[in-house]
Amino acid sequence: MSGVENQAHKVEQLTTFYVGHELFGIEVMKVQEVTGNPHVVPVPLAPEFVRGLVNLRGQIATAVGLSELFAQKKNENKKEEMSVVCKSEGNLISLVVDSIGDVVEVDRHKFEKTPDTVPQTLRRFVKGVYKMDGVLLSVLDIETIFKELSPISEASGRN
Amino acid sequence: MSSFSQEEIEEFKVEAQELMDMSEKSLLALDQGGEFKTCFDSIFRGLHNLKGGAGMMEFLELQAHTHELETIFMSFKEKTSIPKNYINFFLRGIDAARSILEGGKVEFDFTVKDEALSEAKAEEVAPVKEEVKKEETKVSLVTPEPVEALVEKASSGYSIPDEVMAEFLAEVEEIIESISQKLQKIENKNYDRELVDNLYRDVHSLKGSAYLFSFHKMGDIAHAMESSLEGVRNGTHLPNERLLDCLFKSLRVLEALAGKMKKKECDEAFAKVVPVVVKALAFAAEKLEKVEVPVTEEPALTEAMVNELADLIEEGEALKEETPKIEEAVMSIPAQTSVVKEKETEGLSSIRVPVALLDNLMTLMGEMVLVRNQVLQYSNRTEDLEFSSMSKRLNVVTSEIQEEMMKTRMQPIGNVLEKFNRVVRDLSHDLKKNINLVIQGAETELDKSLLEAVKDPLTHIVRNSCDHGIELPEVRKQCGKNDTGTIIIKSYHEGGQVVIEITDDGKGLHKDQLIKKAIEKGIINQAQAAGLTDKEAYDLIFAPGFSTAAQITNVSGRGVGMDVVRTNIEKIGGTVELSGKAGAGTSIKIKIPLTLAIVPALIVKCGKGTFAIPQVKIEELVRVDPESENKIEMLHGAPVFRLRGDILPLVDLNNVLGLQDGTESYKDKVSNIAILNAETFSFGVIVDEIQDTVDIVVKPLNRLLKSLQVYAGATILGDGSISLIFDVVGISKLAQLGQAKDKAAKVEEDKQRKLNDMQELLLISLNSPTKHALALNYVQRLEEFEEKEIEYSGDQRAIRYRGNILPLVSVNEQLGYELNRERKETVAVVVIERAGKLFGVEVNEILDTFSTSIELKEPIKKHHGIFGNINTDEELIVVIDPYEVISRAFDLEDMDPKFDVKEAAKSIALGDKSGTILLVEDTVYFRKAIKAVLEKRGYTVVLAQDGQEALEILNKENGIDLIVSDIEMPRMNGFQMAKEIRKHPAYAKIPMLAVSSKADKDYRREGMNSGFDMYLEKLKPEVLLAAISELWKEERKAA
């Protein structure tokens, strides 16, 4: 986060994409790459939002369907889906989105907290909202998504 | 400390640890009677380098500490041994250094050390001084001698350019190192001609270089060394200790000299030392000659001798002056290069690399393999020959790189095991026990991460063995054991796993004590305790909160030991097994996979996905098709499979993983079952397709997916597709298995059934409407011979069989059945061994084997060769006694002792004694038969399945009056058992009777030697009974 912040205190760069009809964004520095629709190997018994595993040049990433995660309905036109790959603490996740938008520069002044009316299921993944021209851009909290994938109950080490 | 980066400090710490390890190892070696010189040098090197490093890295406290240690240590420089209390002191010193290194504040007392130390010190230091004095006198003797070019040398040293000087010194150091290594080899009596030649060359080139640069002192010493080696090199003399000692000392002087030169100092003290060294060398060489002519014994270095020496030295000096120096310098060049080369390879033999780098390399390697696969696939489709050959080459090289990559993570297990020398040494000292640690297979390699993981569990086990296992020397003596206990750690590869066995010869495990303890601790209750098998009782030791120590010592006994051991080992996919004998020691067997990163796995298909099952978890694979005898059956909606008489629970992966809905009928299709081992029980999984076994690289899953408990990880297969790796235990939990009977219970059940039930019979047909059978235990082999191959000697039929003549006997004839009128083309023969010889029993046809639990009944009519009858539901089967058939046919000389059977019967009838007999026999058939015979005569019979169990019974039960035992048995055979029993004072005189089908002379002899009173061949009831009564008679007489 620091890298982006200190660049110009006022401006933030976001990679944007659509899930359903909503526009979302992630800080550019958190995104490793954007790929097409890779072959996903399903993981039986996993929660529905885990689409499965993806082979990213020898590394295994977990594909997370954002529409399922946000408790929206299942996506129908899967063919056009894209993946946004992010990395945290050695874990790779591949966020499956409907389509990719531009990389935008946003003014921090236009940032606002997520309105309370947004459903709780979605709100916990959203840091806040940027008021863009004609559209609202929700900033994804990628850390909570990672947390979602590492339940604390399993946070075990050696005894 | 701030002037160094964290990285540098870390690196220093690693190195410091290594140095301390080295010193510690050598101290221990010294303690074990290792060669003083070598050990001393290595300890010194360790301490010295540690001091140097610490100083450089500004670890001032550590530097001061090691300096102090080093100083004390140096007082032993001229000695030949270091007393034990000093070794302890140095070990503690190293420990303290470790704590200091880790930032701990350590108050280490250099003066008090040990109560015994001060006196020891006085005692030790005195001779040192004396020796020094001696040295001085020697020096004074030689100083007057004219030694040329002492001062001149210094000046010439300065005139040499710095780079050249540095190069020269580096070379000198290399040569010294190389010489020292070779000397060590010679010292260990591990040398050959070539080595001596090389050594000679080294010394020679050293001399050459030294003179070339006008370093005469150095040259003189080298020259003296060379001369002293002359005889050895010519093969006329053998190197002796004194010579080696002198050579080593000379090397040290050379080292010191080189050090001085480096600092551009010229220490005049050397002027005195050099002649002494030269003289000593010459003297040693001289002595060598005398040793060769083995007349004189080693006289001490007396004044007279020194005088004598002076002359010798003079001679030597004279000789040296004559030596043409230039020639030497020229000669030295080729030798030098070879030395340098050798040194190079040694210097580069290891390099430190961060593990993370290796991990990255591994990952990249995986990617490379995938690319390779793609290239190969592509090349298969093209016609381009050049490309195809290139891709093949790529294939080969990639595989090789992959193989080598795997090796980079492997480390010899000795790295961990050798640390135990110290552990055991310290413990045996603390516990006042004598314990000897033997390490075998230290070179066995293991993945580094696994090595780390087994370190703690192993330490626990070794400490336990020292503390609880090995007894105090007095106790051991009382038990008739050597007062020094031995712990053996053995490691080796077996079936893709690494096995580590820790065996001690201590007091072993006492089942009753274990159970008592477990009840006290509330781990089990009384009722549970009653039904425990030995193995289950041993397993109690792994239960959390269990500790066998009567007292909690600071060594072990905190009750956290063994359960932690088991959890840790199981965490890395290993298993722990414990076995032991009361009074004879404990053995713990740890099996761990070679590497965590790469495991062999079976690839299976289920639904649309491919999954991997770790090979170690797979017990067997079964394919069931509509024609198979056993099918998948539904039991209350759950699929089960009958596997060799047991019901095996099945898990249909398609259902459990939700890949397919509804239960399916397994009736009309082919099913594949993989039978898996979930630690304490087995179950089968039904999969759609079984593919291949491949080595997979395990990649971790994120926690969410791991928490599903079904997957242990994921892997990328050769074609780039991802496959999930099953966690076998997790699947069994998912399917709610595990409450079912576990393995131990099953073993017990089997055992019970064996004891009571099954006997295996071989069904044969004869010229009789009734089916006949003989006990399978008798049968060696089943053969079918061509009739035309059969030869006759008189009317005795025989056949050549495995280089011998196999006499044939027809059962039809012996049992009085009709003989075959026409000879068939082939003859079915049952081969039976009797008294060390093979016999062929001819039957009409070999039908089948079957097992039955039905009791053998006495024959309706007594007939020779018939043992009895078995009434099954359908028919009556006549059981033949093949031994009797054979003895009757061949009038065999009965090897069993002759008894008056009638007499015996009478005495039994008179109520001779109705004692308790322990019957030790592994085969069901004989166990039952003999038991029946004995019980009929009113004896009480206690059964044991093998020697081991027999011993346990003897330990537990009183009132065994006599033992009847088989010889060939699993776990502990009859001979071993007899020996063990005879050792025990209470059973030294108990009558023991061996009954075996192996009854040739050798066996009989060994039987009697092991302590049996009588040795009978199986199985003639009258003889057995007579023998028993005979034995009792003797016993009574003796009493």
| Residue partners of B482: CB distance under 8 A and separation at least 6 | B476
Question: What is the structure's pLDDT at B106?
Answer: 67
DSSP code at position B788: G
Position B410 confidence tier, pLDDT thresholds 50, 70, 90: confident
- The residue that leads in pLDDT, B389 or B898, is B389
Q: CA-based angle B27:B28:B31, to the nearest 5?
A: 90
Q: Does the pLDDT of residue A54 top 70, yes or no?
A: yes
The reply to whether B221 touches chain A by the CB within 8 Å rule is no
Chain A interface mutation, best of B705, B708, B723, B725, highest count of A Cβ atoms under 10 Å: B705
Ordered DSSP codes for B44-91:
HHHHHHHHHHHHHTT-HHHHHHHHHHHHHHHTTTT-S---HHHHHHHH
CA distance B644 to chain A (A): 33
Question: What is the structure's pLDDT at B559?
Answer: 44
| Residue partners of B865: CB distance under 8 A and separation at least 6 | B811, B814, B815, B880, B881, B882, B884, B885, B888
From the list B877, B811, B882, B867, the residue with the least C-alpha distance to B842 is B811
What residues in B contact A148, CB-CB < 8 Å? Answer: 704
The 3-state DSSP class for residue B519 equals helix
Q: Do B720 and A55 touch (CB under 8 A)?
A: yes
State the fold for domain B901-1038: Rossmann fold (3.40.50)
User: In 3-state terms, chain B is what percent helix, strand and coil (to 5)?
Assistant: 50, 20, 30
What distance in Å separates the CA atoms of residue B472 and residue B478, rounded to the nearest whole number? Answer: 10
Give the pLDDT confidence of B669-700 residue by residue, as tens digits: 778 889 988 766 788 888 888 888 877 777 77
Give the pLDDT confidence of B964-989 residue by residue, as tens digits: 888 878 778 888 888 888 887 777 77
Q: Cite the beta strand spans of B892-948 per DSSP E.
A: 916-920, 940-944
- The residue that leads in pLDDT, A62 or B825, is A62
Question: What is the structure's pLDDT at B33?
Answer: 74
Structure tokens at B860: 């309706």
Structure tokens at B1024: 């057995």
State the fold for domain B412-593: Heat Shock Protein 90 (3.30.565)
CB-nearest to A154 from B364, B703, B734 is B703
The domain A2-148: what is its CATH number?
2.40.50.180
How many Cβ pairs closer than 8 A exist between chain A and B?
77
Q: Do B707 and A43 touch (CB under 8 A)?
A: no
CA distance A44 to chain B (A): 6
Minimum CA–CA partner of A43 in chain B:
B724
Position B637 confidence tier, pLDDT thresholds 50, 70, 90: confident
Tokens 């031994």 sit at which residue? B883
Structure tokens at B843: 């039957």
Q: Are B398 and B428 in contact (CB under 8 A)?
A: no
What are the residue boundaries of the structural domains of chain A, listed by start? 2-148
Q: Are B557 and B551 in contact (CB under 8 A)?
A: yes
Question: What is the structure's pLDDT at B613?
Answer: 92
Q: Does the pLDDT of residue B820 top 80, yes or no?
A: no
| Residue partners of B881: CB distance under 8 A and separation at least 6 | B774, B865, B866, B867, B1019
Q: Do A58 and B705 touch (CB under 8 A)?
A: no
Q: Does the pLDDT of residue B319 top 70, yes or no?
A: no
Position B909 confidence tier, pLDDT thresholds 50, 70, 90: very low
Q: Which class does domain B757-890 fall in?
A: mainly beta
Instruction: Give chain A's largest Cα–Cα span.
Output: 54
Q: Does the pLDDT of residue A135 top 80, yes or no?
A: yes
What distance in Å separates the CA atoms of residue A108 and residue A104, rounded to the nearest whole number? Answer: 12
Give the pLDDT confidence of B779-791 residue by residue, as tens digits: 778 888 888 888 8
Question: What is the structure's pLDDT at B152?
Answer: 37
Position B554 confidence tier, pLDDT thresholds 50, 70, 90: very low
Position B759 confidence tier, pLDDT thresholds 50, 70, 90: low
The reply to whether B356 touches chain A by the CB within 8 Å rule is no
Tokens 């070179």 sit at which residue? B443
Q: How many residues does chain A have?
A: 159
The 3-state DSSP class for residue A138 equals strand
Separation of first and last alpha carbons in chain B: 84
Write a three-state SS string for B552-587.
CCCCCCCCCHHHHHHHHHHHCCCEEEEEEECCCEEE
Structure tokens at B415: 């790295």
From the list B794, B797, B615, B640, the residue with the least C-alpha distance to B715 is B615
Mean pLDDT for the stretch of residues A116-136: 84
Question: What is the structure's pLDDT at B336?
Answer: 39
What residues in B contact A49, CB-CB < 8 Å? Answer: none
ipTM > 0.95?
A: no
Ordered DSSP codes for B431-487:
HT-EEEEEEE-TT-EEEHHHHHHHHHHHHHHHHHIIIIISPPHHHHHHTTS-SEEEE
Q: Are B915 and B940 in contact (CB under 8 A)?
A: yes
Q: Do A91 and B702 touch (CB under 8 A)?
A: yes
Q: Report the range of poorest mean pLDDT among B500-504, B805-809, B954-958, B1032-1036.
A: B1032-1036
Q: Does the pLDDT of residue B330 top 50, yes or no?
A: no
Residues of B numbered 561-620 whose beta carbons fall under 8 angstroms of chain A's beta carbons: which are they? 564, 567, 607-609
β-pairing verdict for B791-793 and B796-801: antiparallel
What residues in A contact B363, CB-CB < 8 Å? Answer: 58-59
Question: What is the structure's pLDDT at B604?
Answer: 92
- Helix (H) / strand (E) element for A14: namely strand A11-19
C-alpha distances in Å from residue B673, one per residue of B621, B631, B825: 6, 11, 43
pTM of the model as a whole: 0.42
Tokens 């002076």 sit at which residue? B310
Question: What is the structure's pLDDT at A5?
Answer: 46
Minimum CA–CA partner of B368 in chain A:
A58
The domain B598-750: what is its CATH number?
2.30.30.40
Q: Do B609 and A44 touch (CB under 8 A)?
A: yes
Q: Do B704 and A47 touch (CB under 8 A)?
A: yes
Q: Which class does domain B143-347 fall in?
A: mainly alpha
From the list B469, B491, B680, B493, the residue with the least C-alpha distance to B589 is B491
CB-nearest to A62 from B564, B705, B710 is B705
Question: What is the structure's pLDDT at B77?
Answer: 75
Question: What is the structure's pLDDT at B663?
Answer: 55
β-pairing verdict for B618-624 and B671-677: antiparallel
Question: What is the structure's pLDDT at B750?
Answer: 54
Question: What is the structure's pLDDT at B893?
Answer: 52
In 10 A of CB B471, how many CB atoms?
A: 19
Structure tokens at B179: 């010489």
* Mean pLDDT, all residues of chain B: 73
Give the residues across from B906 on adjacent strands. Answer: none
State the fold for domain B6-129: Four Helix Bundle (Hemerythrin (Met), subunit A) (1.20.120)
Q: Do B609 and A42 touch (CB under 8 A)?
A: yes
CA distance B702 to chain A (A): 7
Q: Does the pLDDT of residue B396 top 50, yes or no?
A: yes
Question: What is the structure's pLDDT at B557?
Answer: 41
Q: Do A55 and B722 touch (CB under 8 A)?
A: yes
What distance in Å separates the CA atoms of residue B402 and residue B697, rounded to the nearest whole number? Answer: 11
Q: Does the pLDDT of residue B133 top 50, yes or no?
A: no
What residues in A contact B720, CB-CB < 8 Å? Answer: 55
Do B6-129 and B143-347 show the same overall fold? yes
- The residue that leads in pLDDT, B357 or B355, is B357
What distance in Å separates the CA atoms of residue B463 and residue B461, rounded to the nearest whole number? Answer: 5
Minimum CA–CA partner of A51 in chain B:
B705
Structure tokens at B431: 């516990």
What distance in Å separates the CA atoms of residue B504 and residue B586, rounded to the nearest whole number? Answer: 6
Mean pLDDT for the stretch of residues B543-562: 54
Give the pLDDT confidence of B599-611 residue by residue, as tens digits: 778 999 888 888 9
From the list B723, B735, B711, B732, the residue with the least C-alpha distance to B607 is B723
Q: Are B152 and B183 in contact (CB under 8 A)?
A: no
B267: amino acid identity, one letter: D
Q: Are A19 and A67 in contact (CB under 8 A)?
A: yes
The CATH architecture annotation of domain B355-408 reads: Orthogonal Bundle (1.10)
DSSP code at position A78: G
| Residue partners of A58: CB distance under 8 A and separation at least 6 | B363, B364, B366, B367, B370, B716
Question: What is the structure's pLDDT at B1018?
Answer: 65
From the list B816, B733, B810, the residue with the least C-alpha distance to B768 is B816
Give the residues across from B504 on adjacent strands. Answer: B487, B586
The reply to whether B658 touches chain A by the CB within 8 Å rule is yes
* Mean pLDDT, all residues of chain A: 79
Q: Does the pLDDT of residue A94 top 80, yes or no?
A: yes
Position B343 confidence tier, pLDDT thresholds 50, 70, 90: very low
Q: Does the pLDDT of residue A145 top 70, yes or no?
A: yes
Q: Report the range of poorest mean pLDDT among A131-135, B464-468, B717-721.
A: B717-721
What are the residue boundaries of the structural domains of chain B, listed by start? 6-129, 143-347, 355-408, 412-593, 598-750, 757-890, 901-1038
Question: What is the structure's pLDDT at B129?
Answer: 40
What distance in Å separates the CA atoms of residue B121 and residue B892, rounded to the nearest whole number? Answer: 80
From the list B631, B626, B627, the residue with the least C-alpha distance to B643 is B631
- The residue that leads in pLDDT, A155 or B643, is B643
CB-nearest to B704 from A44, A60, A150 is A150
Q: Are B91 and B46 in contact (CB under 8 A)?
A: no
CA distance B364 to chain A (A): 8
Give the pLDDT confidence of B572-593 residue by residue, as tens digits: 777 788 877 777 788 888 888 7
Chain B interface mutation, best of A48, A53, A88, A89, highest count of B Cβ atoms under 10 Å: A53
Mean pLDDT for the stretch of residues B269-295: 60
Question: What is the structure's pLDDT at A25?
Answer: 92
What distance in Å separates the CA atoms of residue B489 and residue B481, rounded to the nearest whole number? Answer: 20
Q: Are B678 and B732 in contact (CB under 8 A)?
A: yes
Position B365 confidence tier, pLDDT thresholds 50, 70, 90: confident
Q: Does the pLDDT of residue B401 top 70, yes or no?
A: yes
Mean pLDDT for the stretch of residues B465-479: 84
Minimum CA–CA partner of B571 in chain A:
A158
What residues in A contact B659, CB-CB < 8 Å? Answer: 44
| Residue partners of B595: CB distance under 8 A and separation at least 6 | B406, B409, B410, B446, B447, B450
In A, what residues contact B, Cβ < 8 A? Answer: 39, 41-47, 50, 53-55, 57-60, 62, 91, 93, 148-151, 153-155, 159
Highest mean pLDDT among B349-353, B445-449, B599-603: B599-603
What residues in A contact B651, CB-CB < 8 Å? Answer: none
